[in-house]
Structure 1
Amino acid sequence: MSYPGYPPTGYPPFPGYPPVGQESSFPPPGQYPYPSGFPPMGGGAYPAAPGGGYPGAGGYPAPGGYAGAPQPGAPPSYPVGGFPGGQMPSQYPGGQTPYSSQINTESFSSYPIFSPASLDNSSEPAAMTQGTQGTIRPAANFDAMRDAEILRKAMKGFGTDEQAIVDVVSARSNDQRQKIKAAFKTMYGKDLIKDLKSELSGNMEELILALFMPTTYYDAWSLRNAMKGAGTQERVLIEILCTRSNREIQDIVRCYQSEFGRDLEKDIRSDTSGHFERLLVSMCQGNRDENQNVNHQMAQEDAQRLYQAGEGKLGTDESCFNMILATRSFPQLRATMEAYSRVANRDLLSSVGREFSGNVESGLKAILQCALNRQAFFAERLYCAMKGAGTDDSTLVRIVVTRSEIDLVQIKQMFSQMYQKTLGTMIASDTSGDYRKLLLAIVGQ
């Protein structure tokens, strides 16, 4: 399975989204009620990602691949809400499934486009929240004090009842976990996070701590870890900064300053350079246009400008790519990609691969792929985290946790379509013990 235009080597530019949709509960700067006891910031929390990358050119279904797809030559219409009823067709005309056929450069409107996902209380436009579903929903009849007591008993005395911890944590929303944390301290005068850290270790500890971090803090913490100490985890920077909504990025910037006493933009400038630095600085402004209406004339003009800045000249005008990809809305970028395929007779992802290299290429491609199909983006990232020898556990944890309340149901569907195996089956074969039990409980296996 492949995405169009991706190079056959190199680590995929598809880090996962962090959790979204809980901004309304996020406190103002200087009032983040984060408990002490989160993992120390030193020593790079994210292991080196495994090698491998995207196979050669492939594509999406031919025009008409889902109900209502416009025909070539017709003005494109972008289904912001995703497939009817939020469900992906089980099969495409002619037996095709996504990514199984050669790309049709005449009409990008034939791509199976899902909406950028969000929770009901997200700051993103309402039209962008349709058609997606998380595997974790807030528990009914929730009682924070009862859950706190269960966790206390699971950790009291000799040994730990990991199954009791799994049963509680995997069936509560992030907001409910914050309430459990507060109830635990009120009832026992102890910090739940510190107690969990003393009882757990390794990947299970990392997964539990990720589940208990407030969503915006998790993003800020991940960015700080990615830039602290020797070396920089560029994939984490791309994953977070190239894929968030404006509100999410603005909250991350404030949280980063409040929690770590540092300026995110300054840290980015000191840890990156060149066109990659400029792209990330653009991203951390949180000023992308989020109007969901598509201006087709602008799309045609942008496509022509991108062609003249890259394929149509000797050398590359990187600033033109940065400007358009950093400012246009995702629906607008989809329209631009379709127009570009007519102008250049080549898809824009492929042209970015020909004109750029390294981290800036990965960042630009992450933006474009998010605009096309976020669920396929995450499905491929999960697959690459587990394929071959070894497992990139930090990426696996990050995506499963952050998408669990947003669109993990659709990601699972895409994973099965693209790789002919279920996400749960691959997780089960790549992990073990209580870590595996908790991951499988979160993904709904």
Structure 2
Amino acid sequence: MSYPGYPYQQRTPTVVPAHPFDPRADAEILRKAMKGFGTDEKAIINVLTKRTNDQRLQIAIQFKTLYGKDLIKDLKSELSGNFENLVVAMMTPLPEFYAKELHDAMSGVGTDEDVLIEVLCTMSNNEIRTIRQAYHSMYYKPLESDLKGDTGGTFKRLMVSLCNACRDESMVTDHQKAAADAQALLRAGELRFGTDESTFNMILCQRNVAQLQLTFQEYQRITGHDIEQAIKNEFSGDCEEGFLAVVRSIKNKAAFFAKMLNKSMKGLGTNDSQLIRIVVTRSEIDMGEVKREYQSKYGESLAEAIKGDCSGHYKKCLLALIGESS
């Protein structure tokens, strides 16, 4: 499954297809790295971080053909902790990986709304549909029904709308419609007592990316402040975070993920599942641009942040995925 993102998005991957590529030779290297006493983690990192998700899956097929063993199970038995979690994420087909992340976010006590927001607020229609299919085949339930059962109110409506995957993706723009939408958002929020959430939901979930960028510019022009400020004034909690994520990912997707990476590493402890998810998935899309945004916004490189926050083979593997050495 390829993740092209929205049409305007700049592609700056740090993991590109290996060429030439010999999955049989790679399978042999991995087998040797795990055979006998001790594990050659360096060899595992060297192979897997220099192959795309699709190529890693081909290596797994060769591994099973050659040795009659499951590569992921062997890796899990040899590795541990966050390094193991990172490698397993790298070896999982992308739709299944996202489906599992969404399912884990909703199972058990409480809901990890950050995961729902990060995935559903940033994906194209095709990506969401592919994840929905994977979710249904893995858990025998529609993603939408689990979202409805696990969220509430305006946030639930936002998640269901995004899960529906019906955003206009034509990239056709209309200045008059942008002006009308900006006025509608203003009347639904700042110009009334209480907030008409349905107007925000309808415009932010339906309009194409280029059209929304025009609408945000128009909103700034007529009010003198950013649409983000209006959302912060009008909403709170998960609903505020959800609408902000839609706006931020539409304005600048790489900057949105840079912010999420910073959030995963700052404060008490590290949100390793978020760090792993973003590094693994964006490395084949726009990690080069995410790194530039990170440096610009936080005054240190993403590599420096990872070095300060992670250790051992986990750190080395993350750095290799973002195209940096340890």
Same fold by TM-score greater than 0.5: yes
Deviations 1:88-142 (A, max 9, x none): xxxxxxxxxxxxxxxxxxxxxxxxxxxxxx54xx7x54xx25x321011100111
Contact 2:306–2:319 under 8 Å retained in 1:
yes
2:43 corresponds to which of 145, 161, 164: 164
Aligned mates of 1:148, 1:310 — CA distance in 2: 57
Of 232, 242, 262, which aligns to 1:363? 242
Specify the alignment match of 1:296 in structure 2.
Answer: 175
Is the counterpart of residue 193 in structure 1 residue 72 in structure 2? yes
Per-residue CA shift, 1:238-284, capped at 9, x if unaligned? 11111110001111111111111111111011101111101100010
Instruction: Give the distance between the partners of 1:218 and 1:165, measured in 2 at CA.
Output: 20
Match of 2:30 in 1: 151
- How far apart are 1:161 and its partner, in Å? 0.7
After superposition, what is the alpha-carbon deviation per residue over 1:208-247, rounded to whole angstroms, capped at 9, x for unaligned?
0110111111111111111112211111011111111000
C-alpha distance in 1, partners of 2:268/2:110? 24
Q: How does 1:372-387 map to 2 (within 5 A)?
A: 372-387=251-266
Cα distance in 1 between the residues matched to 2:296 and 2:132: 37
Task: For 2:268, give the aligned amino acid.
Answer: A
CA contact (8 A) 2:122 2:253 kept: no
For 2:268 and 2:106, how far apart are their aligned partners in 1? 27
Partner Cα distance (2:268, 2:242) in 1: 26
Instruction: Report matched runs for 1:397-436 at 5 Å.
Output: 397-436=276-315
Q: CA deviation at 1:380?
A: 1.5
Measure, in 1, the Cα distance between the counterparts of 2:104 and 2:165.
21
User: Offset at 1:345?
Assistant: 2.4
Q: Which has the higher helix share?
A: 2
Structure 1 equivalent of residue 130 of structure 2 = 251
Q: Which structure's relative contact order is higher, taking Cα pairs within 8 Å and 6+ residues apart?
A: 1
**RMSD of aligned C-alpha atoms?**
1.2
CA distance in 2, matches of 1:230, 1:385: 21
* Partner SS state of residue 172, structure 1: coil
Give the gaps of 5 or more residues in structure 2.
none
Deviations 1:169-214 (CA, angstroms, capped at 9, x unpaired): 1100111000001000111101001111111111001100110111
Extract unaligned runs of 5+ from structure 1: 1-21, 24-117
1:180 aligned partner, one-letter code: I
Equivalence for 2:158: 279
Structure 1 residue 389, shift from structure 2 partner: 3.3
Q: Name the CA distance, whole Å, in 2 between partners of 1:262 and 1:150.
A: 39
Paired with 1:229 and 1:275, the residues of 2 have a C-alpha distance of: 22
**Would you identify which runs of 4 or more consecutive aligned residues in structure 1 move more than 4 Å?**
none
Where does residue 144 of structure 2 map in the other structure?
265
Partner amino acid for 1:396? L
The letter for the 1-side match of 2:104 is N
User: Counterparts of 1:231 and 1:253 in 2: how far apart (Å)?
Assistant: 22
Residue number in structure 1 paired with 2:229: 350
Check if 1:184 corresponds to 2:68: no
1:228 pairs, out of 82, 86, 107, with 107
Whether the 8 Å CA contact 1:219–1:252 is kept in 2: the answer is: yes
Q: Which residue of 2 aligns with 1:312?
A: 191
1: CA distance between counterparts of 2:296 and 2:120? 28
Percent identity of the aligned residues? 50
**Code of the aligned partner of 2:231:** V
Contact persistence 1:307–1:343 (CA under 8 A): no
Corresponding residue pairs, total: 324
CA–CA separation in structure 2 for the residues paired with 1:270 and 1:420: 41
The 3-state SS of whatever aligns with 1:314 is coil
TM-score after normalising by structure 1? 0.71
Between 1:377-386 and 1:302-311, the stretch displaced more is 377-386
Per-residue Cα deviation, 1:369-403 (whole angstroms, up to 9, x for no partner): 01111111111211221123321111111111110
